[in-house]
Every structure is written in structure tokens, then in C-alpha cells.
Amino acid sequence: MNSMFLFGLKVRNALLVRWWGWRGAWLLRLHGVEFGRNISLYGMPLVAKRQDSRIILQDRVVLCSDSRFTDMGVARPVILKTLRPGARIVIGRDSGLSGVVVCAAQAVEIGANCLLGADVQIFDTDFHKLAPDNRRHDDNPELIACAPVCIADNVFIGAGAKILKGVSIGENCVIGAGSVVTRSIPANCIAAGNPARVIASL
């Protein structure tokens, strides 16, 4: 490619990152998100925060919502949603999320130095009750199962994986791409499949 064209792309991308950093910080504050030093936004995340809930981004968190800034590309922006009063989402320092969806009715906590690949989804709730009568419209929280999700430090979750309610993932784990994690995974393991199971130790 023409060197001037490449230089122009670099300048444009640098300007976009600065714009997202400024506007993104303003929007996060507007939504009541608590964030630490030097967070980085590549594209604009979608944030929906229920009153009396918390979304916390610790120092140097990276949220990538734009396919131009990740090798694999993303199908959607990062989405962070608290669904009930008292819910919380915590993303630990130096963690990076690309096109990840996090929905918390109680709590989703992601540790430090975690890497969450393109289009990972993490939910601590079933969203709807399991009983069949009026399932679509009955949003009584007492009838909808929820359980906190806890992801420890230095976990790598591959693209397209789903982490479901009540799951804990121990430190240093690797979760294979496309896995559906329905049960807790001990530390220092590789897990993959649907449902995910431990296939190797680290």
C-alpha cells in the first residue's frame, strides 16, 4: 500500500482513539460507571446501569468495541448491563475485553490481567423463570434463578465462549473458544466443550 495512505490510516486511528477516550470517559461518568486510571476504549461500549447498582472498571482496563482494533473482529460493542438494584460488575486492572457482553442481576466479577476474546458472553441469571406459565412476561425476580459469577486473575476466555450463572473460574485458566461453561473450573486448568470440562492442567 501507498505509504501516505498507511500514514493517513495511522493518524485517523490515533484520532479515533483519542476521541473515544474523551467522549467515552464522559459517557461512562454520565452512566455512573466508576473507573480507575488509564482505561482505554476502542469504539464506544454500550452501558445500561440500573439504579443503586455498580459498574467498576479498575486501572488500565481495555474495552474494544470496534473491529478495526482487534485481529479477530467483533460482532458487537462491549455491553455492560446491571439488571437489578444492588447488582455489580467489576472488571479488574489490566484486563481486556473485545465485544464482550456482561449482564449482572447479582454480581459478575472479573479479576486482574484477564483476556476475554471476541464476543464472549457472561450472565449470572436465567433472564426468565423456568416454569412455563406466563414465562415471557413474568419478571418477578424471586422466580428467576440468579447466582454470581467469579472469574479469577489471569484467565483467558476464548472467542464466543459463554459463562453461565453460578460459575467460578480459577486463576490462570484457559477456556476454549465456543465453550459453554455451566460448572465451576478449578485453577490452572484448560477447559473446553459444551458443557465445558477440564481437558488439561497448566
Catalytic (active-site) positions: 128
Instruction: Residue 169: count other Cβ atoms within 10 Å of its Cβ.
Output: 26
d(CA 47, CA 43): 13
Whether 8 and 30 have beta carbons less than 8 Å apart is answered as no
In the chain, count of helices (H) and strands (E)? 1, 20
Beta-strand pair 196-201/189-193? antiparallel
Asked whether the CA dihedral 13, 14, 16, 17 is positive or negative, the reply is positive
Indicate left, alpha or beta for 90 from its phi (over 0: left) and psi (-120 to 50: alpha). beta
d(CA 43, CA 71): 15
Instruction: Residue 150: count other Cβ atoms within 10 Å of its Cβ.
Output: 18
